[in-house]
Amino acid sequence: MADGATGAAIQVRPQPSGFGAEVTGLDLSKPLDAGTLAQVKDAWARHAVLAFPDQPLTLDELEAFTLQIGPFGDDPYVAPMAGHPNVLEVRREPDEKTTPFGGNWHSDWSFQERPPAATILRSEIVPPVGGDTLYADGAAAYDALPDEMKARLAPLRAVHSATRAYGPKSGYARELEVRSMPIIVSPDADKTWAHPLVRTHPVSGRKALFISPVYTVGIEGMTPDEADPLLRDLYAHMTQERFVYRHVWKAGMLVMWDNRCTMHNALGGYDGHRRVMHRTTVAGEVPV
């Protein structure tokens, strides 16, 4: 067939909690017809994290699939691959001893005015051990909060910044010479942007906690002594096992997740092995 559909409905196998799902019956190297693409986007809205196994895509095909989901997002602090200005290579060499890139809980680029709606990551080289990714369900975590806490959080705006990761005094700034990834450190990373602490998803309408330990640096109108304990409690709540999906990678697998309602954490455990992934982002909206 000329497109990436099989002629039958795609197969979506959700995780037991409904957060995260595996999607088969597609060839993402070819354009999806309108009906199949609608099914993919519906599954994404329902499950937030979609895994597509066995997708041997070229970089051009990865870019083409990304554009079917939406326009490219802006990736400011990692240099892109040569000839592919919208693809980042997430690489860690066997002799690297630093924390894996993305190795703390976060929602990608939440410090932007319009943070990316989606991150798309495809595995090129998968180590034989380790390298799993954890995903936390911000919508289920919000739903489980007591009504009094929901009322307390409703008017709050969290302040986001890239300063801890990419500012001149950040951890990455001290590791540039020992990392294989072309990370960009800049004073621009010290800028801040405020978003609703509880965000409403533009497709599903569900509310979700929109915070992360890496990029959330405070809460508007609160002192650090007031904001930090609240944020710590919310992080601990959101990363409980009942809200977390642990993804195990296989070579040639593509995963697409929704930054508007999730956090993720790239685990290590593969020292002595090379790991290579290719990543794009899809532009998002101003959070509301």
**Cβ contacts of 149 within 8 Å, gap of 6 or more:** none
Mean pLDDT of the chain: 95
Specify the pTM.
0.95
CATH of 11-282, one of 3.40.50.2300, 2.60.40.420, 3.60.130.10, 3.40.630.30: 3.60.130.10
pLDDT digits (tens, 9 = 90+) for 244-279: 999 999 999 999 999 999 999 999 999 999 999 999
User: CA-to-CA distance for 75 and 97, rounded, in angstroms?
Assistant: 25
**Cβ contacts of 240 within 8 Å, gap of 6 or more:** 141
pLDDT digits (tens, 9 = 90+) for 54-97: 999 999 999 999 999 999 999 999 999 999 999 999 999 999 98
pLDDT digits (tens, 9 = 90+) for 13-60: 999 999 999 999 999 999 999 999 999 999 999 999 999 999 999 999
Flag whether pLDDT at 1 surpasses 50: no
Tokens describing residue 65: 């699939």
String of DSSP letters for 11-71: EEEE-TTSSSEEEESB-TTSPPPHHHHHHHHHHHHHHSEEEE-S----HHHHHHHHHHH-S
What sign for the dihedral angle of Cα 53, 8, 62, 71?
Answer: negative
- Residue 8 confidence (pLDDT): 54
Q: Compute CA distances 212 → 14, 125, 222, whole Å.
A: 25, 28, 17
7-21, 60-74, 189-203, 227-241 — which is least confidently predicted? 7-21
User: CA-to-CA distance for 85 and 220, rounded, in angstroms?
Assistant: 35
pLDDT digits (tens, 9 = 90+) for 214-223: 999 999 999 9
Q: What is the Cα Rg of the chain in Å?
A: 19
Pair type for strands 275-282 and 133-137: unpaired
- 171 pLDDT band, cuts 50/70/90, is confident
- Residue 106 confidence (pLDDT): 98
Task: Please state the domain extents for the chain.
Answer: 11-282
